Amino acid sequence: AHFDDQCSMKDGVRDCPFSGSRMFETTNAWTALAHFSAYKALGDNKALEKSSNDLSKLMDWCAIDPTNCNWVLAQPSIIYQHTKEPILLEFLKKQANSLLSSKPSNDAMLVAIESRELSLLYQILKDQKLLTAA
């Protein structure tokens, strides 16, 4: 987790634990959800701050190429349903457009992820296109 903290730049090359094979920029979606869950369970505002920081890193990464984040939208969608953060809503709107304009996957697991995300996004955005695509 915490890709930017764990993967340093050395001589213009990204150096990550596990040779980068289990280290992804989008991992912050999972740590954001974990910290948010800890906040909900414990009421610890530091956990909420960590969640927000991880979401910020995720949004920065996704802004470069939104299609890189088409399979990590459930986590921010779940968090948004509780926080109603406007910046997170704008992120989800952009990502919904990316997901809708991307060719659906042929992989069964990824199709399931896409369908769940489209359903969650529909609950938030109330756009019938999302529900139809799901």
Give the Cα separation of 41 and 17 in Å (integer).
30
Q: Each residue of 7-30: pLDDT tens digit?
A: 777 787 777 665 555 556 788 899
Contacts of 32 (CB under 8 A, 6+ apart): 51, 52, 54, 55, 58, 75, 76, 79
Give the Cα separation of 58 and 76 in Å (integer).
9
Tell me which residue of 76, 68, 77 sits closest to 31, measured CA to CA. 76
Q: Each residue of 55-114: pLDDT tens digit?
A: 998 999 899 999 999 999 999 999 999 999 999 999 999 999 999 999 989 999 999 999
Structure tokens given for 124: 């938030």
Give the Cα separation of 36 and 78 in Å (integer).
10
Mean pLDDT of 39-45: 97
Query: pTM of the predicted model, to two decimals?
Result: 0.84
